[in-house]
Structure 1
Amino acid sequence: MAAWVRVIKRVWVMVGFHELGLLSAGLAFYTFLALTPLIAATVMVYGLVADVGMVRKQMASIVEVVPADVAHLLEEQLMRIISTNSGVTGIALVIALFFAVYGGMRAAGGMMSALNIINEERETRGFFVKTFRTGGLTLAAVLLALTGVLSGGVFAWLQIQTSVYLGDVTQLLFKILTWVFAIALGSSGFALIMRYGPDRRPAKWRWLAPGSLLATLLWLAVSFGFSLYVAYISDYNATYGSLSAIVVFLMWLFLSAYGVLLGALLNAEIERQTFCDST
């Protein structure tokens, strides 16, 4: 318990030392630039294994978590990408997927830089090694998003089918299972980024679990809490007018990035508490 108290105290101090707010703002900007290519890559990969027209229906449960303005912008981009790429096949699909992943690498590159600062590591990787690592993390993020979309559809189908034979109580059971799986999937994704993002020997998984779980829970709390704040407390339309949707989107990305980086900082300080630095 005394060690955990020291860890929490250092996290509190290092939030200011590393200027976590500025890091989160930069990461939010890079993610904003990379989001459309990332959505395009996810849609194109999804189109290889299923009907792309089902993406909108299966993503409905996902966009319910985020603020309404964010969901509207995501849905607009999603439908535009679906209509643009519906006829892309063969080599053209591979080329389009390559450029989509390349465009989405801004977010992974920004995350890697932020993780280097949090873990107090200096970037020594060469251009090609860093580019390969960034592309790998971006593709992993696309595959994780694809897994989440497909799993959401599977759980929804199971919820409907089992309720017919086993009653309404199974709907609650599958809703709980859906959230448990979503939290586990999100934590795994954040742990993957925190392990392979910074320029260091990969940390042990047990030092990554607490921060990745915290990052997932904070992201969910930020999404739900900010949605309520935008809907019932703040009036962004009165202040920003036609730019309100973009401002809400960027603010949501900023708060989400802050939560993720706070989880990474917790991991760094937990590992610093150990006798020997495993990285």
Structure 2
Amino acid sequence: MNAILPTSIVELTKSIIFEVVDSQHTGLLGVSVLLMIWTSSSAFRAVIKGVNKAYSFKENRSFIKRSIISMIGIILLALIILLALAMLVFGNVIGAYIISRIPFYKIIIFLWNMFRYAFVFIVMIFIFALIYMFAPAKRLKLKEVIPGSVFSTIGWIGVSFGFSFYINNFGNYSRFYGSLGAVFILMTWLFLISMIFILGVEINCVMSQIKYKSVNNEY
């Protein structure tokens, strides 16, 4: 997990998870999760506004519909992170089990690692494509959002690995600032991957404009 997330973020996340697991107030936990999703969806509504501006689309959907789309978008983005973490963490557990049970484990381990990384990559593209298709006021076709989806997937993975490597090896923010440093690192990471997401939108928009101009030139 430390390969894609800085150690300080991992420790901060673990402390939050353990606190939630140890808590007996399940009702309060449910309310907190819903409140967090709703608060995060307000930021996603701003993303929807930016997407519409990039495509020059006029927003004609109701506030309720945009809020629902925003909450679904937040959940999908959270699923990307959880899926990547789950495949990396449980993938190692499965790999260890394979080593203990199968004689020719090296080939199987290689194939398993190829499969789990390819699976995460494909699912990330699919989730990004869903968001890029339904976020604008006008629904886009799947082929129109594939370029940005691929870019965002590669960008998220690349930025996460690069940022994690830098923080774990060169940046000692958590050592000097403690939990506050971990929060700062988390916010910086979220900012970077948000920029990747927006760039994916711009790439889809530019590609659509190029295709539209080429079609018009043919006629």
| 1:213 corresponds to | 150
From 230, 233, 241, the equivalent of 2:167 is 230
Alignment of 1:32-43 (within 5 A): none
Q: Is the 8 A contact 1:64 1:71 kept in 2?
A: no
Alignment of 1:252-267 (within 5 A): 252-267=189-204
Alignment of 1:105-124 (within 5 A): 105-124=41-60
| 1:183 corresponds to | 121
Q: TM-score, normalised by structure 1?
A: 0.64
| Structure 1: stretches of 5+ with no match in the other structure | 1-60
Separation (CA, whole Å) in 1 of partners of 2:62 and 2:208: 26
Q: Is the 8 A contact 2:145 2:204 kept in 1?
A: yes
Alignment of 1:64-83 (within 5 A): 64-83=3-22
CA RMSD after TM alignment: 3.1
Separation (CA, whole Å) in 2 of partners of 1:139 and 1:253: 15
| Structure 2: stretches of 5+ with no match in the other structure | 215-219
Alignment of 1:88-127 (within 5 A): 88=26, 98-127=34-63
List per-residue Cα deviations over 1:5-29 (Å, max 9, x = no partner): xxxxxxxxxxxxxxxxxxxxxxxxx
Q: Is the 8 A contact 1:211 1:263 kept in 2?
A: yes
| Count of residues in correspondence between the two structures | 211
- Code of the residue aligned with 2:6 in structure 1: it is P
Query: Kindly tell me: are residues 157 and 226 of structure 1, through their superposed partners in 2, closer, same or farther at Cα, counting changes over 3 Å?
Result: closer
| 2:110 corresponds to | 172
After alignment, is 228-237 or 152-161 more displaced? 152-161
| 1:30 corresponds to | none
List per-residue Cα deviations over 1:156-207 (Å, max 9, x = no partner): 454344332232221122112111111111111111111111212x111112
| 2:65 corresponds to | 129
Q: TM-score, normalised by structure 2?
A: 0.79
- Code of the residue aligned with 1:263 in structure 2: it is G
Query: Kindly tell me: are residues 272 and 155 of structure 1, through their superposed partners in 2, closer, same or farther at Cα, counting changes over 3 Å?
Result: same
List per-residue Cα deviations over 1:48-96 (Å, max 9, x = no partner): xxxxxxxxxxxxx4x5411122222222222222223x6638xx88766
Q: Is the 8 A contact 1:148 1:185 kept in 2?
A: no
| 1:194 corresponds to | 132
